[in-house]
């Protein structure tokens, strides 16, 4: 069997006495769309930041794209894309300039960079807006653009932290089409979300409660296990027992 692209083994992060992420262990296979669910404050973002090399684990280990996140964070970074909760393209640069910049810092050079930029603009149907400031785009477009920029350098994995907050269901659907097409190209998608309909789209879903991983399976089997009609019910059943909230 192929080596998992993400391997976490008792991965833990403490801030003083507070254990944000408590010894989580899981694997993610290549090309998988992996849903990372949990209530606010359950430790999702902390776990994701450790996997991206943004935060050093307090204990436990994790390998991402074959590199240890604690000892080789910069090698991890070369192989992943990341789209944070906060919208994080430069609003005062144009669409094309943002693509050039982020492509450039990942080592893409012309003419490859130029081709990639054209393809991206064509795929998002943003050719007409290439010279518009990103700040002037509607939120849905910004998010699609941010995702496309995050996978511009063909990473092995893309991490998405609540990528679709605040947009309409139609735009969210379009966004998920982009995720599917990325997964189809072999990019592993690691996504946190609060929308349970989105959880249904994932190949496998984990649910974090109080820093621990309370459940991990396909959406269908999770529903069977908990005798629930929808992922919503599964989530309620598990999250109800949570001690810590916002």
Partner 1 sequence: MLYFLLQKEFRQIFRNRTILAVVLVMPLIQLIVLPLAADYEVKNINLCIVDNDRSPEAQRLTQQLTASGYFRLTGYTASYPEALALLEADRADVVLTLPQDFERGLMRDGGQTLSLAVNAINGVKAGLGAAYITTILQTYNNAVRVQWVQPDRFPATPVLKVAPVYWYNPFLNYRVFMVPGVLAVLVTMIGGFLSALNIVQEKEVGTIEQINVSPVRKHYFILGKLLPFWVLGNVVFTLGLLVARVVYGIVPMGSMPLLYGFVTLYLLAILGLGLLISTYCETQQQAMLITFFFMMVFILLGGLFTPLDSMPAWARAVAYCSPVTHLIAVMRMIILKGSTLHDVLPAAGIVAAMALVLNTWAIVHYRKTS
Residue 80 within binding range of partner 1, rule CB under 8 A:
yes
Among 21, 100, 148, 188, binds partner 1 (CB under 8 A): 100
Residue 91 within binding range of partner 1, rule CB under 8 A:
yes
Residue 107 within binding range of partner 1, rule CB under 8 A:
yes
Among 2, 16, 17, 86, binds partner 1 (CB under 8 A): 86
Write down how long the chain is.
246
Residues in 47-76 that interact with partner 1 by CB under 8 A:
52-56, 73-74
Smallest separation (angstroms) from partner 1 to the CB of 217:
29
Q: Which tokens go with 136?
A: 């002037």
User: Of 79 and 237, which CB lies nearer to partner 1 in the complex structure?
Assistant: 79
Smallest separation (angstroms) from partner 1 to the CB of 150:
8
Pairing of strands 6-15, 59-64: antiparallel
User: Of 106 and 195, which CB lies nearer to partner 1 in the complex structure?
Assistant: 106
Residue 105 within binding range of partner 1, rule CB under 8 A:
yes
Residue 124 within binding range of partner 1, rule CB under 8 A:
no
String of DSSP letters for 78-102: HTEEEE-SS--S-TTSBHHHHHHHH
Residue 130 within binding range of partner 1, rule CB under 8 A:
no
Residue 131 within binding range of partner 1, rule CB under 8 A:
no
Question: For residues 234 and 222, is the Cβ–Cβ distance under 8 A?
Answer: yes
Residue 185 within binding range of partner 1, rule CB under 8 A:
no
Q: Which tokens go with 224?
A: 């069977």
Smallest separation (angstroms) from partner 1 to the CB of 91:
8
Q: Which helix (H) or strand (E) holds 200?
A: helix 196-201
Strand order across the beta sheet in which 18-28 lies: 18-28, 6-15, 59-64, 67-68
CA–CA distance, 234 with 196 (Å, rounded to integer): 10
Residue 82 within binding range of partner 1, rule CB under 8 A:
yes
Q: Which tokens go with 186?
A: 């072999």
Strand order across the beta sheet in which 212-217 lies: 80-83, 157-161, 188-192, 33-38, 204-209, 212-217
**N- to C-terminal Cα separation, the chain:** 41
Among 12, 21, 84, 192, binds partner 1 (CB under 8 A): 84
Smallest separation (angstroms) from partner 1 to the CB of 231:
29
Does residue 240 sit in helix, strand or coil? Answer: coil
Stretch that binds partner 1, among 16-24, 26-34, 97-105, 210-218 (CB under 8 A): 97-105
The DSSP secondary-structure symbol of 239 reads: H
The residues binding partner 1 (CB under 8 A) are 52-56, 73-74, 77-78, 80, 82, 84, 86-93, 97, 100-102, 104-107
């Amino acid at each position: 069997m192929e080596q998992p692209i993400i391997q976490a083994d008792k991965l833990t992060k403490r801030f003083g006495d507070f254990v944000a992420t408590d010894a989580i262990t899981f694997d993610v296979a290549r090309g998988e769309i992996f849903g990372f669910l949990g209530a606010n404050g359950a430790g999702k973002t902390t776990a994701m930041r450790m996997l991206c090399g943004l935060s050093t684990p307090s204990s436990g280990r994790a390998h991402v794209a074959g590199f240890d996140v604690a000892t080789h964070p910069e090698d991890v970074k070369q192989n992943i894309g990341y789209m944070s909760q906060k919208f994080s393209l430069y609003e005062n640069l144009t669409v094309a300039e943002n693509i050039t910049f982020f492509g450039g810092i990942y080592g893409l050079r012309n003419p490859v960079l130029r081709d990639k930029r054209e393809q991206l603009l064509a795929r998002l149907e943003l050719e007409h807006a290439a010279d518009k400031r990103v700040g002037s785009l509607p939120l849905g477009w910004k998010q699609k653009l941010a995702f496309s920029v995050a996978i511009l350098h063909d990473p092995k994995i893309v991490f998405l932290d609540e990528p679709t907050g605040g947009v309409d269901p139609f735009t969210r659907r379009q966004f998920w089409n982009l995720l599917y097409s990325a997964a189809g190209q072999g990019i592993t998608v690691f996504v946190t979300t609060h929308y349970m309909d989105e959880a249904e789209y994932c190949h496998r879903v984990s649910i974090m409660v109080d820093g621990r991983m309370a459940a991990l399976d396909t959406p269908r089997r999770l529903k069977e296990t908990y005798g629930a009609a929808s992922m919503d019910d599964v989530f309620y059943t598990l999250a109800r027992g949570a001690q810590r909230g916002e």
